[in-house]
């Protein structure tokens, strides 16, 4: 018996029994109760979890709230505990079946003991987790903002990606002078969209900026609002600033931003610059990498704001990009419906002239129109009058008008409106435009350059060398203002460049202040227009043959009359004497053969243009001298086709003596252009130093012994164009280099049929030469002589040959061997044309010449194939530049023959 007991209670079983008897029986006899308690505590825990989860989710519905990391960890632990409880409960029935003796003992003591202990421990964990949940007060927190807050943009930018990339590089590259960056361009061109894209790149690209701030400045800047925009982004609430002064807010901004690397984005700054220091922006931090980026309609604002180097002009879209934007706005559904009329939509897009705001406005208006007839009608409306098209007046023209309204003076507004008299895409010569403005009375004593500069800087005119252009949408805006907004004051009749064969009906002329019929095919004019208000009549480049005597009798207020380019007009009517208010008369490029004596009645004439009136044979004596108020007289190539009539009373003669005397009498004259014949004509011109001082363009012909020399030329400080034909330049050398001053305004030189001239080394005194033309100079061997140049350079210091040259034409110079011995940089060169120059075997070019520029080189193919090059790299660089000479286009103003 004792052996049996000893065998049953082995060493392995005695230890747990003794432990069980020693006080751990509760894990077995209390198992059922503990399982029930575990379930209850679990349900309490789940209830607490749901309570806290509801609070968290409610908070997360508000912007910029998130659950705290503590509550997020607690939720995860609750889920883990729930899983453990479920697993234990799954073993409940099995473990209860093991119990015996009324639950006080177990058939498997060890298993029941271990299970009971797990239940007890898990119950304690559940209770502790519930207690932590009960004690938890902060279950959500505010989300700290990123560097930037993303902004809604209509769509991704089209056609302006390169500007965005440039601006982004300028912001992120750590370079000096990158602190302030300006984006400028005309209204509606997409500057705000670009700036929003810049802002959004801070949300998607890697960078090291602490905060990006956005504020809209607008036309009437509210500095307090700009401060609030800054304050909000750097942690100052409106309430905290409620009782603080402007200066106190500025101090808060300074003390915060000086410790941050920030980007301040300011949209729509107008002409008045914003004092950033006054706002509290610490500009000294720009040296440490902070940035300020702004948009404006005015280029001048870039300088005022300090964006001297980092300024980017936003241009209108090209045709392809404009179509891409327009296509996206209209949508494929409508465009597919128009698939049988593929040009309609593209024609409509072109009517918007690349202006994104117009493309979006027109595109939205057409997005529901699926009938071709609707599109055709819309195109007609838009091309005839943009203001009549749906949405254009309210969204586009009104937006552009803000720039017009912001011009500080009435004279600027008048000068701008005047530009819409010219055809679409018309290149308006700057000097001609300013003469119009003066004749109209817009300018007093100013030259007009300040006005021109202000309009260009306001992005209301586009600059292009010697001319300006008005964007077609700006032109539409100007016509809308003139004819609808300021109808009583202005009222324009503009039919420029539209292919008219007849002048508008006489009824349309009545009550109009300015009429422009430029560049049409009009052959005749109305009989008697009654226009008491008419001040401007622009008729250039038509086919007018005759004007009746009575045409001008009812135009008492006319100040500007332009008949230039009517090459069938041979005679002026005597009735022109009725225009007693006339200030500006342009007869250039007509076939008028003589001026009537009755022109003496035009006592208020200030501008008279007779240039390129080749057929002019007679100008009555004492006529020009009667224009006592004349300020500008243009007579270049006047009467060149025929010998003038040699008779008493005609000032057109070879010696030009009487003409010079009459011109000299005009005390208010400040600009002349002249053509002189023969040595006596030049001699008589040189007798009047006053005339030399006001000469802008000079054409000299048939001077076998030219009395004009370099010293005379240098004294003509306003000379811009020089044309010498059939004259002897043998005595023009550079021996007097020490006495000759540089001719800084001279930019165009033409030498034609001049014998006995070996070189033109004297051109080194013309540092701003843009156009050089040489025709039929058979004795010329080189343009710049190295030997003569060495003498000049010692006296004049360093020389930068042809640094401004844009155009070089050489024709029929049979002995010309070289232009210059060594290669030259030619930083501005655009065109070279060489013909009938068989000895010219090498051009002064190397692989560094015209660096970064694509120039056009015209010539005969045989000459090109025999051309010698500095090296293979030079030949490779310029081989793509060749164009056969037969396609070279000559401007009719290039030759005066």
pLDDT in tens, 378-413: 999 888 888 888 888 888 888 888 889 888 889 999
Residue 290 is predicted with a pLDDT of 92
* Strands annotated E in 415-455: 428-429
Nearest to 559 by CA among 586, 582, 580, 532: 582
pLDDT digits (tens, 9 = 90+) for 431-468: 999 999 999 999 876 778 999 998 998 889 998 888 99
| 232 burial level (CB within 10 Å; 0-12, 13-18, 19+) | middle
Report the CATH superfamily, name and number, of domain 161-313.
Answer: P-loop containing nucleotide triphosphate hydrolases (3.40.50.300)
- Distance separating alpha carbons of residues 488 and 511, to the nearest angstrom: 9
The DSSP 8-state label assigned to residue 615 in this structure reads T
Q: How far is CA 888 from the centre of its chain?
A: 31
- Looking up tokens 């013309």 gives 766
Residue 597 is predicted with a pLDDT of 93
Average pLDDT over residues 357-381: 90
* Contact (Cβ atoms closer than 8 angstroms) between residue 330 and residue 361: no
pLDDT of 14 > 50? The answer is: no
Q: Predicted confidence band at 156 (pLDDT cuts at 50, 70, 90)? A: low
- Distance separating alpha carbons of residues 89 and 130, to the nearest angstrom: 19
Average pLDDT over residues 139-161: 74
| 139 burial level (CB within 10 Å; 0-12, 13-18, 19+) | buried
Listed in sequence order, the DSSP H helices in 184-304 are: 191-204, 223-233, 246-257, 276-279, 299-304
DSSP annotation string for 351-387:
TTTT-HHHHHHHHHHHTT---HHHHHHHHHHHHH-GG
Q: Which of 228-237, 252-261, 617-626 has the lowest mean pLDDT?
A: 228-237
* Contact (Cβ atoms closer than 8 angstroms) between residue 611 and residue 590: no
Identify the top-confidence range among 27-31, 66-70, 848-852: 848-852
Q: Which tokens is 64 given?
A: 């910029």
Q: Predicted confidence band at 73 (pLDDT cuts at 50, 70, 90)? A: confident
Q: Which of 149-158, 404-413, 505-514 has the lowest mean pLDDT?
A: 149-158
pLDDT of 49 > 50? The answer is: yes
pLDDT digits (tens, 9 = 90+) for 675-685: 998 889 999 99
Handedness of CA 848, 849, 853, 859 (dihedral sign): negative
Q: Predicted confidence band at 220 (pLDDT cuts at 50, 70, 90)? A: confident
Identify the top-confidence range among 50-64, 138-152, 329-343, 883-897: 329-343
* Strands annotated E in 410-521: 428-429, 462-464, 467-469, 492-494, 514-516
Residue 645 is predicted with a pLDDT of 52
Q: Which tokens is 347 given?
A: 């024609």
- Distance separating alpha carbons of residues 440 and 418, to the nearest angstrom: 10
Q: Predicted confidence band at 75 (pLDDT cuts at 50, 70, 90)? A: confident
Helix (H) and strand (E) counts in the chain: 31, 28
Q: Predicted confidence band at 194 (pLDDT cuts at 50, 70, 90)? A: very high
State how far the alpha carbon of 129 is from the alpha carbons of 15, 60, 78, 118, in Å: 34, 23, 7, 16
142: Cβ contacts below 8 Å, ≥ 6 apart: 64, 65, 66
pLDDT digits (tens, 9 = 90+) for 711-766: 888 889 899 999 999 988 877 776 655 566 788 899 999 999 997 889 999 898 89
State how far the alpha carbon of 618 is from the alpha carbons of 1, 144, 615, in Å: 162, 87, 9
User: Considering the domain 394-485 in this protein, what is its CATH number?
Assistant: 1.10.10.10
pLDDT of 116 > 80? The answer is: no
Average pLDDT over residues 692-712: 88
Average pLDDT over residues 861-878: 93
Average pLDDT over residues 5-10: 40
Q: What's the angle, vertex CA 331, arms to CA 328 and CA 332, rounded to 5?
A: 115
Could you tell me the pTM of the whole model? 0.76
* Contact (Cβ atoms closer than 8 angstroms) between residue 75 and residue 45: no
- Distance separating alpha carbons of residues 450 and 657, to the nearest angstrom: 38
* Contact (Cβ atoms closer than 8 angstroms) between residue 52 and residue 130: no
pLDDT of 230 > 60? The answer is: yes
* Contact (Cβ atoms closer than 8 angstroms) between residue 892 and residue 565: no
Identify the top-confidence range among 142-156, 414-428, 706-720: 414-428
Burial 598-623 (b: 16+ CB within 10 A, else e): bbbbbebbbbbbbbbbbbbbbbbbeb
Percent of the chain whose pLDDT exceeds 90: 48
* Contact (Cβ atoms closer than 8 angstroms) between residue 530 and residue 554: yes
* Strands annotated E in 284-364: 291-296, 311-313
Nearest to 20 by CA among 100, 91, 115, 105: 105
Q: Predicted confidence band at 707 (pLDDT cuts at 50, 70, 90)? A: confident
- Distance separating alpha carbons of residues 437 and 451, to the nearest angstrom: 10
């Amino acid at each position: 018996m004792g052996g049996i007991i000893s065998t049953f209670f082995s060493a392995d079983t005695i230890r747990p029994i003794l432990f069980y008897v020693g006080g751990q029986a509760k894990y077995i006899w209390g198992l059922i109760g503990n399982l029930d308690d575990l379930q209850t505590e679990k349900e309490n825990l789940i209830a607490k979890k749901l309570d806290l989860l509801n609070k968290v989710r409610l908070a997360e519905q508000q912007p910029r709230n998130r659950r705290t990391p503590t509550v997020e960890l607690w939720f995860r632990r609750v889920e883990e505990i729930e899983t453990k409880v479920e697993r234990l409960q799954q073993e409940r029935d099995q473990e209860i079946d093991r119990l015996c003796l009324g639950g006080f003992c177990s058939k498997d003591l060890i298993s029941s003991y271990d299970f009971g202990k797990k239940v007890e421990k898990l119950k304690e964990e559940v209770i502790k987790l519930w207690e932590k949940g009960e004690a938890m007060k902060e279950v959500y927190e505010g989300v700290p903002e990123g560097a930037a807050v993303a902004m809604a943009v209509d769509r991704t930018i089209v056609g302006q990606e390169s500007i965005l990339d440039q601006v982004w590089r300028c912001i992120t590259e750590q370079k000096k002078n990158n602190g302030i960056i300006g984006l400028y361009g005309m209204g509606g061109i997409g500057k705000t969209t670009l700036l929003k894209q810049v802002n959004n790149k801070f949300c998607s690209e890697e960078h090291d900026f602490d905060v990006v701030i956005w504020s809209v400045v607008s036309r009437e800047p509210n500095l307090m609002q700009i401060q609030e925009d800054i304050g909000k982004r750097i942690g100052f609430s409106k309430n905290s600033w409620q009782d603080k002064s402007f200066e106190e807010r500025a101090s808060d901004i300074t003390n915060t931003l000086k410790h941050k690397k920030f980007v301040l984005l300011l949209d729509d700054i107008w002409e008045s610059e914003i004092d950033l220091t006054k706002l509290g922006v610490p500009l000294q931090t720009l040296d440490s990498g902070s940035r300020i980026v702004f948009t404006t309609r005015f280029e001048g604002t870039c300088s005022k704001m300090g964006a001297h180097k980092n300024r980017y002009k936003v241009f209108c879209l090209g045709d392809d990009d404009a179509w891409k934007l327009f296509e996206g706005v209209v949508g494929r559904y409508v465009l597919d419906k128009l698939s049988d009329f593929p040009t309609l939509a593209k024609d409509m897009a072109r009517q918007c002239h690349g202006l994104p705001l117009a493309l979006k406005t027109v595109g939205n208006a057409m997005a529901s129109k699926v009938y071709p007839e609707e599109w055709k009608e819309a195109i007609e409306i838009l091309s005839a009058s943009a203001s009549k098209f749906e949405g254009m007046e309210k969204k586009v023209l009104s937006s552009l008008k803000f720039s017009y309204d912001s011009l500080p003076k009435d004279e600027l507004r008048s000068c701008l409106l005047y530009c819409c008299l010219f055809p679409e895409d018309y290149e308006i010569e700057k000097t001609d435009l300013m003469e119009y403005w003066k004749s109209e009375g817009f300018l007093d004593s100013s030259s007009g350059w300040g006005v021109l500069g202000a309009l260009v800087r306001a992005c209301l005119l586009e600059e292009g060398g010697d001319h300006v252009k008005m964007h077609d949408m700006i032109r539409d805006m100007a016509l809308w203002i003139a004819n609808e907004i300021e109808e009583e004051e202005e009222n324009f009749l503009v039919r420029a460049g539209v292919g008219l064969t007849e002048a508008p009906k006489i009824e349309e002329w009545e009550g109009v202040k300015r009429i422009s019929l430029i560049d049409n095919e009009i052959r005749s004019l109305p009989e008697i227009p009654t226009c008491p208000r008419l001040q401007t009549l622009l008729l250039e480049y038509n086919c007018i043959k005759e004007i009746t005597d009575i045409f001008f009798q009812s135009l008492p207020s006319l100040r500007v009359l332009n008949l230039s380019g009517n090459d069938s007009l041979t005679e002026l009517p005597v009735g022109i004497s009725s225009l007693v208010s006339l200030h500006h008369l342009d007869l250039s490029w007509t076939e008028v053969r003589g001026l009537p004596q009755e022109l003496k009645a035009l006592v208020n004439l200030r501008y008279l243009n007779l240039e390129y009136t080749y057929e002019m044979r007679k100008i009555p004596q004492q006529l020009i001298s009667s224009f006592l108020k004349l300020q500008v007289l243009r007579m270049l190539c006047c009467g060149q086709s025929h010998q003038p009539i040699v008779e008493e009373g005609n000032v057109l003669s070879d010696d030009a003596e009487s003409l010079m005397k009459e011109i000299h009498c005009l005390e208010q004259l400040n600009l002349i252009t002249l053509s002189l014949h023969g040595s006596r004509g030049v001699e008589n011109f040189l007798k009047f130093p006053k005339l030399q001082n006001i000469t802008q363009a000079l054409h000299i012909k048939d001077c076998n012994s030219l009395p004009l020399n370099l010293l005379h030329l240098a004294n003509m400080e306003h000379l811009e164009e020089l044309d010498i034909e059939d004259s002897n330049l043998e005595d023009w050398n550079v021996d007097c280099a020490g006495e000759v001053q540089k001719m800084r305004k001279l930019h165009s030189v033409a030498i034609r049929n001049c014998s006995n001239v070996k070189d033109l080394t004297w051109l080194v005194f013309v540092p701003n030469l843009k156009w050089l033309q040489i025709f039929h100079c058979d004795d010329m061997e080189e343009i710049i002589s190295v030997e003569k140049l060495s003498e000049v350079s010692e006296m004049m210091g360093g020389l930068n040959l042809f640094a401004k040259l844009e155009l070089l034409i050489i024709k029929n110079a049979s002995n010309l061997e070289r232009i210059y011995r060594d290669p030259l940089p030619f930083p501005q060169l655009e065109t070279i044309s060489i013909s009938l120059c068989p000895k010219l075997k090498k051009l002064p070019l190397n692989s560094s010449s015209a660096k970064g520029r694509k120039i056009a080189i015209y010539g005969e193919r045989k000459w090109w194939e025999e051309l010698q090059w500095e090296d293979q790299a030079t030949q490779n660089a310029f081989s793509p530049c060749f164009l056969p000479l037969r396609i070279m286009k000559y401007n009719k103003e290039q030759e005066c023959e």
